[in-house]
């Protein structure tokens, strides 16, 4: 769907998430959300916080799994996705701390593989993700699944693309400070979600959105894999949709 503005689109996505939470609540079940970082979902989180504060939406029955985290990364570092999620969502809602899952950037190299397997198993143990929200990087990555990622890839340690590190350089005060690696859910992990919502705003995403939606399906642009699934919705503003 294409919306006139990022604000309207973000409110729609937040309302969809709220509906899932309320539906699960009514059934006495947990809602399992796959969450993303970056500038793109910030207004979705803002609206969820508003729904919590002004309309009493509770996150008591919500379990979350974030897509990715830089590696190595300390959770209390300003650039960590842990810090991002706390700032934009978790510190402002009533989610139980133990329900929050984010890949661990503090692991020793020899611990990473076991952690990734356990992350997959933990998602499955809750019956899988009810919804996964996604942004898109200019390399066509989803999560940190850079070009070359396989469609059935699982949670794993990956090497970041040069363009991705350049795009992140502002947050880190220079590209040389951006970690070279990350732990990310795989394309296969994302695909197992019951619903997938990819959001993109602004002119600068128009070119990659066109490739993702209309381009040939290829590992060169992992977001093109989303064309293979009928449970994916692209939520765009008019600028991001302008090349379609």
Positions in the binding site for ligand GLP (CB under 6 A): 36-40, 67-68, 135-137, 143-144, 164
With beta carbons less than 8 A apart as the criterion, state whether 226 and 196 touch. Answer: yes
Number of H helices and E strands in the chain, helices first, is 7, 10
Least distance in angstroms from the C-beta of 27 to ligand GLP? 30
Least distance in angstroms from the C-beta of 110 to ligand GLP? 24
Least distance in angstroms from the C-beta of 109 to ligand GLP? 21
Least distance in angstroms from the C-beta of 18 to ligand GLP? 21
Which C-beta is closer to ligand GLP: that of 12 or that of 139?
139
How big is the CA angle at 90 (ends 240 and 102), to the nearest 5 degrees?
80
Which C-beta is closer to ligand GLP: that of 25 or that of 101?
101
- The active-site residue out of 8, 47, 146, 207 is 146
With beta carbons less than 8 A apart as the criterion, state whether 213 and 227 touch. Answer: yes
3-state secondary structure of 101: strand
Which C-beta is closer to ligand GLP: that of 137 or that of 222?
137
Torsion angles phi and psi, residue 52, rounded to 5: -65, -50
Two tokens, residue 174: 């220079």
Which C-beta is closer to ligand GLP: that of 57 or that of 208?
208
- Residue 133's CB: how many other CB atoms inside 10 A? 25
Residue 160 CA to its chain's centroid (Å) = 16
Least distance in angstroms from the C-beta of 54 to ligand GLP? 26
111 a catalytic residue: no
Which C-beta is closer to ligand GLP: that of 61 or that of 70?
70
- For 5-55, the DSSP string reads SHHHHHHHHHHHHHHHHHHHHHTT--EEEEE--SSTTHHHHHHHHHHHHHH
- Laid out side by side, the sheet with 181-184 consists of 68-71, 181-184, 156-159
Give catalytic residues, as residue numbers: 146
């Amino acid at each position: 769907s294409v919306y006139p503005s990022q604000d309207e689109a973000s409110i729609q996505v937040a309302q969809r998430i709220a509906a899932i939470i309320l539906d699960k609540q009514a059934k006495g079940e947990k809602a399992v959300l796959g969450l993303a970082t970056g500038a793109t979902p910030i207004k979705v989180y803002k609206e969820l916080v508003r729904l919590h504060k002004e309309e009493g939406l509770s996150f008591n029955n919500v379990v979350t799994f974030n897509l990715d985290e830089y590696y190595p990364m300390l959770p209390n570092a300003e650039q960590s996705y842990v810090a991002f999620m706390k700032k934009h969502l978790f510190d402002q809602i009533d989610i139980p701390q133990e329900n929050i899952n984010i890949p661990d950037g503090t692991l020793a190299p020899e611990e990473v593989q076991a952690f990734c397997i356990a992350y997959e198993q933990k998602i499955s143990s809750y019956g899988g993700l009810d919804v996964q929200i996604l942004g898109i990087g200019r390399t066509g990555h989803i999560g940190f699944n850079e070009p070359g990622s396989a469609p059935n890839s699982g949670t794993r340690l990956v090497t970041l693309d040069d363009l991705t590190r350049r795009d992140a350089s502002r947050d880190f005060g220079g590209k040389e400070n951006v970690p070279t690696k990350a732990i990310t859910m795989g394309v296969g992990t994302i695909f197992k979600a019951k619903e997938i919502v990819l959001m993109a705003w602004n002119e600068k995403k128009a070119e990659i959105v066109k490739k993702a939606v209309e381009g040939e399906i290829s590992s060169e642009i992992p977001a093109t894999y989303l064309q293979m699934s009928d449970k994916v919705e692209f939520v765009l503003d008019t600028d991001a949709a302008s090349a379609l």
